[in-house]
Amino acid sequence: MNKDFIYSLLIMIFVSGFTSCNKNRFDVDISGIEARVKIRRMEKDFFSSDNMETGKKHQEMMLQYGIFYKRYLENITGIGLVNDPAISYGLNAFLGDQYIREIYLDAEKKFSDNLEGECKELSEAFKYSKYYFPAMVVPEVVTFVSGFQYSVAVTDSVLGLGLDMYLGSDYKNYPKAGFPLYKIAQLKREFIVPDAMKSWLMTEFFSSENQNPKNLLDQMIQNGKVMYLLDAVLPKINDTLKIGFTLAQITWCQKNEFNIWAHLVDNQLLFNTDPTIINKFFNEAPFTSGLPKESPPKTGVWAGWQIVKSFMENNPDVSIPELIKIQNPQDILTKSKYKPRKG
């Protein structure tokens, strides 16, 4: 047989094997899946009236936005109970607040394109979601302005986006509202889609009674599952946006992965049930308490993400829906064979 032919054949086999071994698990065909997201601008309808004394506009909003409007009044803004006969006083006070109206007008200017890009990205994200979970409902997406109260609000069928929480890290009213610099850095438009999908997935899969984390490891694995789901439904979005870290912070975690894990193990923190201790690894902060000041916050989320990724790499027969159903976090840790190398 011709030597050149044999050589070419070996090269082809090598390249083919290398490609198959390194195939992106999230590179799936979603071309035949229908999932069209439409965004309704509730804040435009809400702020279009300067006066709700007659109650007519209030009734129209109830008919148009239903249960989400109720949540907006009662929980998101705290304006008042939707069926309270005196609700018009709270509505008019909110609508007449010059600070709130300024924020609303700034949001309208920022999102004058009607969030066309976000609409496309969310539609694609829900196509990926339905690939893994065909029965998943594609929610109605509604925008609102709450005076910096909520970024995302979710009901059974509605995904609400608080536009005033994405006006940019240079927005003048964020420092005035008391937001710390590390939080302001994330109040940017590019975080809308990952924040929205994270909230929706958490509500879909981790809101039941049996999903309540009992210790630090439980919390890590649950957060790791959420991050892995984000990998699956947002395969084109950068990791920095999924977890809210800068590139430097992700690099720090990668370089110090062994030290993070050693800190958790050596201090016997994995099975700690003290909320004060647990929250240090998941709360927004300048850095993770107990770790060097160069560390990012939420290193518990990052570590859990690495464990779940390791588990899925070492257990390729486990599907994403099966991963979600696994109830024992310690089982995931054991089968992940997670053992970061010392740098």
- Could you tell me the pLDDT band of residue 12, with boundaries at 50, 70 and 90? very low
Residue 84: CB atoms within 10 A of its CB come to 13
pLDDT tens digits, one per residue of 100-153: 999 999 999 999 999 999 999 999 999 999 999 999 999 999 999 999 999 999
Please say whether the beta carbons of 60 and 47 come within 8 A. Answer: no
- pLDDT the model gives residue 128: 98
Give me the helix-helix angle, 116-132 and 216-233, nearest 10°: 110
Structural tokens at position 147 = 């005076």
Give me the helix-helix angle, 216-233 and 299-314, nearest 10°: 70
Dist. CA 148–CA 156, nearest whole Å: 23
pLDDT tens digits, one per residue of 266-288: 999 999 999 999 999 999 999 99
Dist. CA 165–CA 184, nearest whole Å: 9
Please say whether the beta carbons of 35 and 126 come within 8 A. Answer: yes
- Would you call 51 helix, strand, or coil by DSSP? coil
Token match 């975080």: residue? 191
CA-closest candidate to residue 163, choices 120, 117, 106: 106
pTM of the model: 0.90
- Would you call 175 helix, strand, or coil by DSSP? helix
pLDDT tens digits, one per residue of 93-113: 999 999 999 999 999 999 999
